[in-house]
Amino acid sequence: MRDLTKHLFITLLCTIPFVCGCDMIEYHPYDLDIEGECDMNSRNIARIEASLAGRDEISFIVISDTQRWYDETEDAVEYINSRDDVDFVVHTGDLSDFGLKLEFEKQRDILNTLNVPYVALLGNHDCLATGKDVYNRIFGPENFAFTAGKVRFVCLNTNALEFDYSEAVPDLAYLENELDNLPEGIEKTVVAMHAGPYSEQFNNNIARVFQAYIKRFPDLQFCIYGHGHTTRIDDYFEDGILYYQCTCAHKRGLLHFTINSNEYTYEAIDY
């Protein structure tokens, strides 16, 4: 009887971990041993550019600051999937709260259930510990641009405080390079970032320089950003370029924009 119990226990001991699978073995919460799909932004950009090529009107949704609000993020995805007039989604950063690998993986898994392609920007929380390295692997470079119809979307890392002046944030050289190499047929531009000008994250010494740079893009329409966890609209530089701040997932709000050859529209939606 004792032998039987012994064998039973030892068998149990040896099998439980294997039944539960390897994804439950973790070397460190901040390691770079990433499970699942990587390079999401470039895959999704290919889908956006292919499906909207030549289109005069585009429709997109902005979500932001979904960190540690997985249930709310799922609700946002459910809401977006319930609409059939959305071409793509822009997430303006803060996918993670603590910079943990798990947070990026789970947010990616939720966003991957969107019916439309999405891109995600780097938020300040995403820079914590090895967060930026995880972001770079799962989503891609922190400065990127893509074309939706005839509109160029320029997505920038503006979390200067996280980099302690050791890197160029925002990267003006990147903007110059983008300006020099704009694809043909671009009529309008939208700039997306996580932290807006005059927030504590932004390199405010060059806020006006930044504005001058982005206004060199073709017909800059407006800027979208997050970080503030409220919905607000500001004309920071009193030059008619509006900055639309998207609220956080906790407050269950998002922004919807349409851009056509004559005008753009926006609406702030609670889900």
Partner 1 sequence: MSLLCTGTSYLYGGNNDTIRTRRWDKRVHQRFEGWERLKPTHIKMQYAGGMGVVSVGAGWDYGKRRQWETDMFVGYLPARYAKTFKLTFTLKQNYIPWSMSFNERWALEPFYCGLYFTTIAGEDFWGKEPGRYPNHYYNFSTKMRPYIFIGQRVNLNIGHKTVRNVTAFYEISSCELYIISKITNKYLTLKDILRFSFGLKVQLFK
Q: Which positions touch partner 1 (CB under 8 A)?
A: 2-3, 5-6, 9-10, 13, 16-17, 20-21, 23-33, 68-71, 73-74, 97-100, 102-103, 106, 110, 125, 128-130, 133, 161, 164, 200
**In the complex, minimum distance from the CB of residue 130 to partner 1, in angstroms, rounded to a whole number:** 6
Q: By C-beta, is 102 or 172 nearer to partner 1?
A: 102
**In the complex, minimum distance from the CB of residue 171 to partner 1, in angstroms, rounded to a whole number:** 19
**In the complex, minimum distance from the CB of residue 20 to partner 1, in angstroms, rounded to a whole number:** 7
Q: Which of 238, 242, 198 is nearest to 221 (CA)?
A: 242
Q: By C-beta, is 6 or 47 nearer to partner 1?
A: 6
Report DSSP state, residue 30. T
Instruction: Map tokens 């060199």 to a residue.
Output: 216
Q: By C-beta, is 68 or 188 nearer to partner 1?
A: 68
Q: How far apart are CA 204 and CA 208, in angstroms?
A: 8
Which runs of consecutive H residues, i.e. helices, occur in 83-156?
Answer: 101-111, 131-138
Q: How far apart are CA 241 and CA 221, in angstroms?
A: 7
**In the complex, minimum distance from the CB of residue 117 to partner 1, in angstroms, rounded to a whole number:** 22
Amino acid at 48: I
The phi, psi pair for 41, rounded to 5°, reads: -60, -45
Q: By C-beta, is 125 or 152 nearer to partner 1?
A: 125
